[in-house]
Amino acid sequence: MITEKDIQIIESYLSNNLSEQDSAEVRRRLKDDPEFRKHLEIIRDLPPAITSSSDAFRSDLKEIMANTQLDQAKTRILPLKKIIMAIAATVALFITVNLLIQDRTPQDLYATYFTIPPENISVRNSEEVSEILTQALAAYSAENYVQANEYFRTYLNATPEDQAARFFYSLSLMASNNFEEAKSNLLALKGKAESFNTSIEWYLSLVYLKNGLIADAKVGLTTLSSTDNSYTSKAQILLKEIE
């Protein structure tokens, strides 16, 4: 059984509060005494183990896994001929698109590049608030953006700090052609929602493009194209098309 004295010595050693002579004695014991070594390891590792938020994280993850439907489609292995045909079709499409883009307006480019992603929010908070957000997300997924906007607005009045909801609200506004309101919501998020900063930058650039604010669009697209992120190549292509 570890003694109170040993606990005190080990704690002092770990916090560098021992004299050189006492520290040397601890190092000698660590070399010769496996039990003492084990006790030091436990005393050292207990505080981070107990104050860690791993249990809370595990609980979050379990809830997410229980409430998230995965795509059940199996991966198929395509025969080589089909792969080659798919590549050829993509190349043909690319050439066609390139030929067509020469006289496109910013609004045309917006229409080409704006796609609305599926929502991926886990609904939390109180039951009442969650119900409104659930309705907003259901309307969003059903592409009923006008209805989604109303629900999002109500939800965000009660829970203005929900960045994910505000992000998808912005996309819903864009999809329903409410660009000024989309812009102000995206600007409110910019620099604050670390998890999806690049997405905010992308969609904000598209809003500027739609409104004919080419210089503002180029600033965002230049940032995206010069760093490694999910939008790098799209931003590079779009910048070339604008220029």
Partner 1 sequence: MESMYTELELINGLKKRDVIVVKHLYVTYYPMIRDLIQKNGGSEEDASDVFQEGMVVVFEKTQDKNFNWSSSIKTYLYAVCRNKWLMHLRRQRTHNTTYLQDNVEVAGDQNVQRDIVHQEKRELMRKHFGFLGDDCQTVLRMFFAGNSMRKIAQEMGFTEAYAKKRKFTCQQKLIQAISLDPLFNELSAS
Residues that bind partner 1 (CB under 8 A): 1-2, 4, 7, 35, 38-39, 41-43, 45-58, 60-62, 64-65, 68, 70-71, 117-118, 120-122, 124, 164, 194-199, 227-230
Could you tell me the smallest distance in angstroms from the CB atom of residue 29 to partner 1? Answer: 15
Q: Which C-beta is closer to partner 1: that of 31 or that of 58?
A: 58
Give me the least distance between CB of 11 and partner 1, in Å please: 9
Question: Which residue number, 107 or 233, has a Cβ lying nearer to partner 1?
Answer: 233
Minimum CB distance to partner 1 smaller for 7 or for 85: 7
The tokens describing 133, both together, are: 């957000």
CB 102 → partner 1: shortest distance, Å?
A: 27
**Cβ-based nearer residue to partner 1, 68 or 102:** 68
Q: What is the 3-state secondary structure (H, E, C) of 94-111?
A: HHHHHHHHHHCCHHHHHH
Smallest separation (angstroms) from partner 1 to the CB of 212: 26
Which CB sits closer to partner 1, 197 or 211?
197
C-beta of 134 vs 211, nearer to partner 1: 134
CB of 20 to partner 1, least distance (A): 26
Instruction: Give min distance, CB of 103 to partner 1, in A.
Output: 28
